[in-house]
Structure 1
Amino acid sequence: MTSTINPTTGELATRVAIVRAKAATPGFEEPIAPADVDIEAWNHVGDPLAEALVEFMRDHKLMSGDFYATARRLQAEGEPTAEAFFADVEHIPAWVDFDAMRPGADMGRRNPIGMMMGMHGALPATYTDPATARVMASTGRLEKGGVDFHRRFWETASGFAGALDVDGMRPGGPRWEQWVRIRLLHTMIRLGILRSGRWDLSESTPISQLATAAATHLFGPYRVEIIRSFGGIATREEEDSFALMWRWISRIEGANTELLGTTPDEQFAVSRRIHQFLYRPDADSVALTHSLLDGLNTMRAFPLPRRGHQAVLRRIGTAEMARTMGDVDFADGLGVNPAPLAEFLLSLAALGLRGFNQITRVPLVRRAASKHGQGLLDYVVTRGLERRTAQYRPTPVRHDPDSAKGTTSEKKSA
């Protein structure tokens, strides 16, 4: 039994038990209408399969070294928790079509500026869920932009850039492995928070299934809207392809197929329900957003003044852009004040980019931009990581007794 069984009672506890059983079933697939998904119950479920594996590793003092390599070794040795975990993460749902992901990946590679600017919107959009903001606070990332802000930012960007390598995103591929490592990272953080005893489980579990699935739209279709806002050209086919890519990534990350839909329209319908359920920005949400803006202001990859970063978020943090949060401009909810001059100058820059990007309609230029775009994104990320490999290792969680004692690799890897 893992520590993620929550103390809800009565009818909700019954519903939570039902969806938790689905999450604990490797490769679970069962059709369900978006309107019938039990959004509230899924917010009380984490990742039972990954939690069982990590708890086994922790109990057997296997938390040092390479987590992924250790998990693979346990799988080869026949350890049931490792076998179940990899059976789930290697399962390819019926709706996954890797060839259908290629147009979206091609679009992303052609638009490196829009892809990078997407970080300004997609990351803060996740902070509108107060539970996500509390998770960040638990790892100390609200302080001075986070003690490891740059490393964490570029490790996140590494996963985003790698997702455009479709063949590398197949089970066993190097880009796929990046996301499996991130899933294990999230699990370690979740368990560390739960060990701290300072999470109100009557409201949710940290890094819940719902929070994981919420990223599907924000890093998929919403990012396509950001690319368009900065002059990029993206067709509806490419948008749907990009959405498919992010449904697959969310599945690798442990989100149950019930929360992802089987088509772009189903995914949008479920995401809209998720976002409107989770949208409750609080003081931590605001603090985390301003910490992100302050951190971006220190990064050479984004040569903008603080008000410039603020203007970017004001431009893309709108109801019209996000489309799933109702009629609210989430930039307002996150306490991002207007910056009129910076916003005006940014609109002129976006207009210029829109004109410049028309050249990508020429087939030869289009192919060249796609060919070299992946290399450019990987180069920027590598420079951001100071040429070190992304480690995806957890930051120590406040009040976690294991972190305090220094008995886990979380402490060693800080």
Structure 2
Amino acid sequence: MDLITAHQAAAITGARNWDAVAARHPERTASMAAGLMRGDRLADAVVAEYFDRHGTPDAMPWRDVVAALENRDSPTPLPPALTAFLDAVGTPPSWYDPALARAGAMAWWRFGSLQSSTLYQSLIYGYQARGFTRPLSATGRLTEGTWDRVQSTARWVALATAPECMEIGHPGWVQTLRIRLVHAMVRHHLVRQWWDTEQWGVPINQTYSQLTITAGFLALPLRIGHDFGLRYSAAEREAITHMWRWIGSVMGVDDDLLPRSFADAQDIDRVARAFQMEPDPDARTLVSALLDDGYRTEVPLPPLPPVVANAINGAVHTVTRPVLRTLFASVSTRWVDEDVASAMGLRATPLHNVVALARPLVRSREVLRALGVLGSDTRVAQRELRLVTSQLGIDLADPDAGRYGRVA
């Protein structure tokens, strides 16, 4: 069911001014409205097939379904829907250029530590949308496991954006498909149990996925980076866009919803930001949980026994958390509309100007990079990648780097 009225779209999304935005951007909003009623046909078929066969002699255990993502040449015959899924994901679209995606990854990781820190803003961006918060509320994951959710999502972003990791069969590609099937499983359970599709749209729908990839993980981090003083060339922006377009395609976002250029991504983001959102009441709870338990303050203490180091870091985190909570909450208001920020419990303070204080440091670092003092751009990106992945416990040399269980 793709047909949907403007009134339904406004109710599903919480956008108070849907009609006004639709009048200015009729084609874009029409595709967004239709996407609210669409899931992921291929992944949903895999999950439906799994439950249809469950308990029968030819049933395949779920662990084997997931394992097939890494071992597509298994001699064991695979069910039809899973075979169709693997055939589709193993055949990239005609527009995909692996070299351009790798160039985007190298540009992204040139300042990867800053880009990785924007994950918190990407999550807060998502929390303003009811389509994001309702599935979390339905699964009881509002305040539980926040740290694990942030860490697992950060690991996925690192794997998906690391150079070459998103190529077919590589860890980022495998992990992205794992998440895609998890989303399909969540969709299946919610719709079968109590989810009101007509009132709320399809859970984890195409429009939610489009905006998560294009606005939350692409446009927003680049806008934040620009605010900090980070500059990309036009070619680098196009390469980064291509990288995220490919990630979105593997994640199951319909091709017509993915950005074809950086200008297209900006337009999608601009339309999304034009909506006057009314967040679900659970959004405040999610933001509060993120600010309370979405980070850890850790000091490297390699010479000490783990028990002692953990105790010291626990004490440091307890002391610094109130200050950091206020800082993160204030800085986050720079990139969220004032009304939405207030609804989610965020309040601007003079601390949000810390971004302006950091800007000269970022620009100085970029000058040193341009002069070659920090080494080649490739060396810089590799160094940033090692820094972030080591903090996340990822060893990219390990063939099992993509095995992280629940992510996102």
Quickly name the TM-score band, shorter chain normalised: 0.7 to 0.9
Residue from 156, 159, 163 that aligns with 2:160? 163
CA RMSD across the alignment: 3.3
Cα distance per residue 1:259-288 (max 9 Å; x no partner): 114222233333444554694312112221
CA change 1:200–1:299 in 2 (3 A) is farther
Deviation of 1:246 (Å)? 1.1
Q: Does 1:393 align with 2:406?
A: yes
Residue from 358, 364, 371 that aligns with 2:382? 371
Deviation of 1:210 (Å)? 0.5
Q: Does 1:190 align with 2:199?
A: no
Q: Does 1:203 align with 2:200?
A: yes
Match of 1:282 in 2: 280
Matches within 5 A, 1:1-40: 12=4, 35=28, 38-40=31-33
How high is the TM-score relative to the length of structure 2?
A: 0.76
Q: Which moved more, 1:248-257 or 1:35-44?
A: 35-44
Contact 1:311/1:338, CA 8 A, preserved across alignment: no
Match of 1:121 in 2: 121
Match of 2:50 in 1: 57
Match of 2:106 in 1: 106
Cα distance per residue 1:1-31 (max 9 Å; x no partner): xxxxx6x8xx539xx9xxxxxxxxxxxxxxx
CA distance in 1, matches of 2:74, 2:267: 39
Deviation of 1:63 (Å)? 4.5
Match of 1:403 in 2: none
CA change 1:63–1:100 in 2 (3 A) is same
Q: Which has the larger radius of gyration?
A: 2
Contact 2:42/2:81, CA 8 A, preserved across alignment: yes
Match of 2:215 in 1: 217
Q: Which amino acid aligns with 1:374?
A: L
Matches within 5 A, 1:41-190: 41-61=34-54, 62-65=60-63, 67-70=65-68, 72=72, 77-143=77-143, 146=144, 148-190=145-187
Contact 2:112/2:384, CA 8 A, preserved across alignment: yes
Q: Which amino acid aligns with 2:205?
A: S
CA distance in 2, matches of 1:74, 1:57: 18
CA distance in 2, matches of 1:43, 1:113: 33
Contact 1:285/1:334, CA 8 A, preserved across alignment: yes
Q: Which moved more, 1:218-227 or 1:197-206?
A: 197-206
Match of 2:324 in 1: 308
CA distance in 2, matches of 1:376, 1:394: 21
Q: Which amino acid aligns with 1:280?
A: E
Cα distance per residue 1:361-413 (max 9 Å; x no partner): 123525231222222221111179xx997533389xxxxxxxxxxxxxxxxxx
- Give ranges in structure 1 of 5+ residues lacking alignment: 1-5, 17-32, 396-414
CA distance in 2, matches of 1:88, 1:142: 34
Residue from 357, 367, 384 that aligns with 1:358? 367
Contact 1:46/1:206, CA 8 A, preserved across alignment: yes
Match of 1:331 in 2: 341
Deviation of 1:230 (Å)? 3.4
CA change 1:336–1:309 in 2 (3 A) is same
Q: Which moved more, 1:59-68 or 1:248-257?
A: 59-68
CA distance in 2, matches of 1:37, 1:171: 32
Contact 2:229/2:359, CA 8 A, preserved across alignment: yes
Deviation of 1:298 (Å)? 4.2
CA distance in 1, matches of 2:360, 2:403: 35
Deviation of 1:137 (Å)? 1.4
Secondary structure of the equivalent of 2:232? coil
Contact 2:38/2:205, CA 8 A, preserved across alignment: yes
Deviation of 1:53 (Å)? 0.5
Match of 2:251 in 1: 253
Contact 1:117/1:226, CA 8 A, preserved across alignment: no
Contact 1:111/1:373, CA 8 A, preserved across alignment: yes
Q: Which amino acid aligns with 2:36?
A: N
Contact 2:101/2:240, CA 8 A, preserved across alignment: yes
CA distance in 2, matches of 1:351, 1:306: 27
Cα distance per residue 1:304-352 (max 9 Å; x no partner): 634534434543544xx57xxxx76753443201232x33445424433
Secondary structure of the equivalent of 2:118? helix
Contact 1:281/1:333, CA 8 A, preserved across alignment: yes
Q: Which moved more, 1:129-138 or 1:344-353?
A: 344-353
Match of 2:304 in 1: none
CA change 1:56–1:168 in 2 (3 A) is same
How high is the TM-score relative to the length of structure 1?
A: 0.75
CA change 1:357–1:370 in 2 (3 A) is same
CA change 1:350–1:139 in 2 (3 A) is farther
CA distance in 1, matches of 2:75, 2:254: 22
Deviation of 1:242 (Å)? 1.4
Deviation of 1:37 (Å)? 5.0
